Structure 1
Amino acid sequence: MARPTIRDISRLTGLSTYTISQALRGAEGVSDESRARVLAAANDIGYIPNRAAQDLRRTNRDSVGLITASTSNSYYLDLIGGIQSMVQSLAWTVIIADVAVDGHYDAAQEDRTVRRLIEARVAGVISTLTLRKENTDLLSKWDIPVVFVDSSAPAEAPDLPSVTTDNYQASMLVGDHLADHGYKHWLFLAYPAIWSTRVEREHGLRDAAANAGAVLTVVESANDAVSASQALKNYLDTSGQLPDVLIAGNNPMLLGALEHFRLRGLSVPNDIAVVGYDEFAWSNLIHPPLTLLNERSGEIGQEAARTLSEIVLAQDASEKRGQGSVPVYRPEHQKQVGAELIIRQSCGCAHGRPGT
């Protein structure tokens, strides 16, 4: 696919290439009307200026972009560590950008991030969030491969690589354990569905609850601990009923829930049991030790980086043969990593056990 150039913008706008260059650089001497026409045309065709050298031929593939969606979630720390450990052997660097600072997704930040990564001549992108179609199209236009982790490939591009957990089966695993306890009222404290894992997690919990004859209530919160605590407070204040168990959708939801239970004077698991997604390093040091689903995020990060490196190295080989640099995606580039439930005491088990 031919990459858009300043000449393409000139044909669309009728302006000279000099005027377009000045407008794109933000230089003086260009009218507001002309600048607006240039920027609109550049955006429409996916033109990206190279701020480093005005040359986007990626002759040195030595860095990758990692787009995260809230680094306040400790899940991402192990994920990043797994990616770093893999690309280190290739002497690559990782450029990290967060498009959901403090758990609040920003579409404009996603757009800026994708463009900056293209400008930086990254070899490829690993994204923890399902990117907007406009941005996957833009990466494709510049032959930059993308691998999704902890998120699904966009519905419009289902062939894009991904390394995920089978969140439906993982949630069934959680639900089966809650059923063993005989819990009948489950509360799922969930983050927004823009994080694609939410859908399958809720789906699995709903089916598990139905199988157990239990009632599942879903309370949605913004993806940060403060919002989670407030959402839980609002629900408990109005429902008049304390559920048997709270299922925290991720680490920020878990932190918010535990903070609110402390303020409310509730004891875990005596007053309410707690189970969460995403194991973290010190979860067994909390009182009581936490029952959590371990998704092996470090392993997911390694597998994502391995998949991306395979695609990029194949691009290099193709270019050397004079066959172009379009990334080639294969079915085996879509992978899933198994999860395990780490059973401790917050779920109501008197003595935890390593896993199931």
Structure 2
Amino acid sequence: MARIKDVAAHAGVSVATVSRVLNDNPSVTEETRTRVYAAMRELSYVPNAVARSLRTEATKTLGLIIGDIVNPFFAELARAVEDAARAAGYTVIIGNADERAEEQDHYVRTLLEQRVDGLLICPTAEVTPLVEELARAGGPLVFLDRTLPGMHVPSVRADGTDAIRALVAHLRQLGHRRIAFISGPARLSTGRERTGAFLAAMAEHGLEVHPEYVQAGDFRSGSGRALTARLLDLPAPPQVIFAGDNLMTLGALDEIRARGLRIPEDVALASFDDVPWFPHVNPPITAISQPAAELGKRGVRVILDRLGGRPAESVALPAVLVVRQSCGEGRDVS
């Protein structure tokens, strides 16, 4: 196994510089940081924190890094992970990446320094060298909700393809033709998957997709509101706005209400992600429900399989359409 001094020699820097890179010291230039990371990849260097995490002494702790603790989906997911881990005799330490790669890596390092037995990560879009090295080292790692390209890491995620197809069929049956989609960012696997499923479902049902009707948000309420405003300002605004997650749905709802528009008479609204308060909105919001609790439980099961030396297979659980009244159910929308 390569050592830190081997990385330093390969990159043409001092051991102290490599150490500063590993510790995210801001004094290191971007050019030097890139050169050191390249040397680490070429030498298959495993940082000490990762190497220590692979020792056999168990601490009965698991690390969980989620994308955004404000998002109700991740809150439910984290609760399920905690409950399942506790039932198996483990304690969970949670980190909130806030959808930022540098925050994610900060928690990865911290949790590995704490000698957690395994890591469950809802990865950010960027493939960082630290996560790449951890995956390459074969550490006890599982991805939750999202995947990363080129990573041979078991994942537990929801598959919304059939549910999105069912939603588009439902909207078409109600008479809707102009359907807009506020997607998540294309750099995230969930953003790409939901956009692809929506476009395929629209084509399957013979519905035209106007380019201006597909807008990329960031899974935050602010983008949901801003993009809803953009859609409603079009010369021919959509009949339906389908938001790609619950927070963007909240933003869309805020903008629709601020304009004094009625749901579904003026514009219909649907959400990917269901939350407990959707049935209590007037009208209740039609949504695609992800099995967040089951994802958390299955994620713990997969990481425990890895820790026990058992085969750990990726899991994809189906999301389901929950029809309520926000798309014109029971009304003439033609």
TM-score by length of 1: 0.78
Q: Which residue of 1 aligns with 2:219?
A: 223
CA distance in 1, matches of 2:153, 2:32: 33
Q: Please give the alpha-carbon distance, in whole angstroms, between the structure 2 residues aligned to 1:202 and 1:269.
A: 23
- 1:240 maps to 235
Task: Tell me by how many angstroms 1:44 deviates.
Answer: 3.8
Letter in 2 for 1:174: L
Q: How many pairs align?
A: 316
Amino acid at match of 1:241: A
Instruction: Write the mapping of 1:114-193 to structure 2, written as runs, cut at 5 A.
Output: 114-129=108-123, 132=127, 134-152=129-147, 154-157=148-151, 159-193=152-186
String of CA shifts for 1:240-284, please: whole Å, max 9, x gaps.
222111101001110100000011111111111111111112221
Deviations 1:212-235 (A, max 9, x none): 332332112233112221122133
Give 1:172 shift: 0.9
Match of 1:288 in 2: 283
Deviations 1:19-69 (A, max 9, x none): 95798489xxxxx89xx9899658843453459xx8973512422222211
The 2-side partners of 1:137 and 1:244 are apart by 43
Aligned equivalents of 2:55 and 2:86: distance in 1?
23
Contact 2:164–2:321 (CA<8 Å) still a contact in 1? no
Unaligned ranges ≥5, structure 2: 22-26
| Residue matched to 2:94 | 96
Structure 1 residues 207 and 143: CA distance shift in structure 2, 3 A: closer
Q: Retained in 2: the 8 A contact 1:161–1:329?
A: no
**2:331 matched to 1:336?**
no
Q: What are the superposed Cα offsets for residues 179-211 of structure 1, whole Å, 9 maximum, x if unpaired?
A: 111210001012212221122211221122223
Indicate yes or no: 2:218 matched with 1:196.
no
- Partner of 2:264, secondary structure, is coil
Which residue matches 1:350? Answer: 330
Q: Does 1:267 align with 2:262?
A: yes
Is 1:254 the counterpart of 2:254 in the alignment? no
The alignment's TM-score, normalised by the length of structure 2, stands at: 0.83
In 1: Cα distance, 2:90 partner to 2:194 partner? 34
CA contact (8 A) 2:121 2:143 kept: yes
- Structure with greater Cα Rg: 1
Q: Does structure 2 conserve the Cα–Cα contact (< 8 Å) formed by 1:278 and 1:292?
A: yes
1:203-214 aligned within 5 A: 203-214=196-207
Retained in 2: the 8 A contact 1:283–1:290?
A: yes
Q: SS in structure 2 opposite 1:114?
A: helix
* Amino acid across the alignment from 2:108: V
Paired letter, 1:83: V
- Over the aligned positions, Cα root-mean-square deviation in angstroms equals 3.2
Which residue number corresponds to residue 322 of structure 1?
none
Cα distance change, pair 42–207 in 1 and its aligned pair in 2 (3 A): closer
Q: 1:14 to 1:136 in 2, by over 3 A?
A: closer
The unaligned stretches of length 5 or more in structure 1 are 27-31, 315-327, 352-356
